[in-house]
Structure 1
Amino acid sequence: VFVPTMGKESNFLVDFAAGGISGAIAKTCTAPIERVKLIIQTQDANPRIMSGEVPRYTGIGNCFARVYQEQGLRAFWAGNGVNIIRYFPTQAFNFAFKDTIKGLFPKYNAKDDFGKFFAVNVASGGLAGAGSLCIVYPLDYARTRLASDVGSGKKQFKGLTDCLVKTAKGPKGFFSL
């Protein structure tokens, strides 16, 4: 049991689970929008679109319609499993570690010294976020690659493991991340 500066008891595992589960639900709800955004953002680097094999997407509506027509409703959640695997620990670590990191800083009262209290909160939140990002960045890369795989033909990757293995075996390995 960890006792944060505010005097409330906090259970690290409960905070970890609460942060992770809430993040997973949020990402699943927004997955279709995220998928369309990634397809449009990455289409200029997509070899199948650049070669003319798959036509360019002309906008958000066109992308939604074509993904549904070419790949079906489930395609809007392509890469979402990886997204959850990536986002769960990000949110879980952020949520669970913020108070732990905050405990490393001097304690300030919000009413007496709001500026310093605010700075400690921003710094502890930022450090928790930066630490989480270092851990989950390879998963973010894989999610982007999986979600931007377009068209109704053969996919470039079979899933998360295949994407990470092919990246590691590439000319620059994980340094290409």
Structure 2
Amino acid sequence: MPIESKEFRNAMARLPAAVNIVTTDGPAGLGGFTASAVCSVTDSPATLLVCMNRSVSSCEAFRANGVLAVNTLCGSQQELSGIFAGFTGVDGPARFEAGNWGKLVTGAPVLEGALVSFDARITDLIEKGTHLVLFAEIEAIRLDEGVDEALLYFARDYRRVLAA
């Protein structure tokens, strides 16, 4: 018997996850969204995956630009998560008016003060149900050693976790 969507979403809400802003920039434009479905795939070559709902307004920009940055948020960046999740009504490039952004190698926006930023090229895309799974090989990493608090999403709410 198939699992109902609501039951699955309720179960997944019990899985704590880092909060990330995933960004892109290039010929197809600037875009970004909030994601908790991000994980490592392999360390050789260094690759991660990102799950993106195909209804995300910048979905086509990610496909066309072929680059992304995963910016893992620290505890003080919760407001940015809401902006990039679409909770504030701000869309498109206007989202980047909040926060301080730079670039590393690919040109995808990298957030100043993030716990870590992974700058990557998209190598594969898989469509599954409502989502795209983006596989991305890492070209550069920036760590902020001065940040000691992570932002997590658990039980449909934000939590802050201090480093041990």
Q: What is the TM-score of this pair, normalised by structure 2?
A: 0.23
TM-score (norm 1): 0.22
Give 1 or 2: higher strand fraction.
Answer: 2
- Please state which structure has a larger fraction of its residues in helix: 1
